[in-house]
Chain A
Amino acid sequence: EPEVTQTPSHQVTQMGQEVILRCVPISNHLYFYWYRQILGQKVEFLVSFYNNEISEKSEIFDDQFSVERPDGSNFTLKIRSTKLEDSAMYFCASSEAMDRETLHFGNGTRLTVT
């Protein structure tokens, strides 16, 4: 069964550094998402991406964040200058055109900012 893959599984970075989280969505999916989960808290929506542009974003997704689909397979989340409070599990998800409400998630990248 096709799946969403995320790399790396764990990323440690120092405060103020830039970090890029990578995702390969399911190949025939057209909608892409990033969510995050701070330890012990709920899974929070960050951004959705369709047709090479951001379609929705939450108030969490400020100027420090950006997303990109640099080629036909990858979908990336960049955090420009990481803060301690960015430490979380980041999930990438994708969905298909005929069932866009059903998200298929990757295993996540655990980001630790020190």
Chain B
Amino acid sequence: AQSVTQLGSHVSVSEGALVLLRCNYSSSVPPYLFWYVQYPNQGLQLLLKYTTGATLVKGINGFEAEFKKSETSFHLTKPSAHMSDAAEYFCAVSGGSGGSYIPTFGRGTSLIVHP
């Protein structure tokens, strides 16, 4: 079985500040990990994903995430928040080559950016 836990349903930052959204996963096989973003009234859009290889993954809009196996984490960061980053962010895990390829999503974290 696979699951993700996103710590904090809401994260509030000031424009220009560091963004850190936390995700911990549970998987019995080497996981594939994803971050999706959902803007209001839109579907989920892939930000970045980790499958194999380099553990630091860069995505769109300046976001990146680091796979840390020892901590079972895949936290999402961005050095400087922009107002347009305000959205719902979802972490997801799938079983990669050893398990179900279908992603399991977390509860989501709402990112609020203050001017």
The contact size tier of chain B is 20 to 34
B101 contacts A41, CB within 8 Å? no
Q: Mark A73-96, 1 if CB is under 8 A from B, else 0.
A: 000000000000000000101000
Q: Is the CB of B32 within 8 A of A107?
A: no
A contact residues, range = 20 to 34
With A42-B107, A45-B104 as contacts: A102 and B49 at CB distance below 8 Å: yes
Cβ–Cβ < 8 Å partners of A48 in chain B:
102
For the complex, is B63 an interface residue (Cβ under 8 Å from A)?
Answer: no
Do B43 and A4 have beta carbons less than 8 Å apart? yes
Inter-chain contacts of A43 with B (CB < 8 A): 44, 90, 105, 108
Chain A residues with Cβ below 8 Å from B44 are 43, 91, 93, 103, 105
**Most chain-B CB neighbours within 10 Å: which of A91, A100, A104, A105?**
A105
Q: Is the interface of A mostly helix, strand, loop or mixed?
A: strand
A101 and B51 contact, Cβ closer than 8 Å, known pairs A33-B102, A42-B105, A56-B102: yes
Query: Which of B's residues lie within 8 Å of A, judged by CB?
Result: 32, 34, 36, 41-46, 49, 51, 90, 94, 96, 100-108
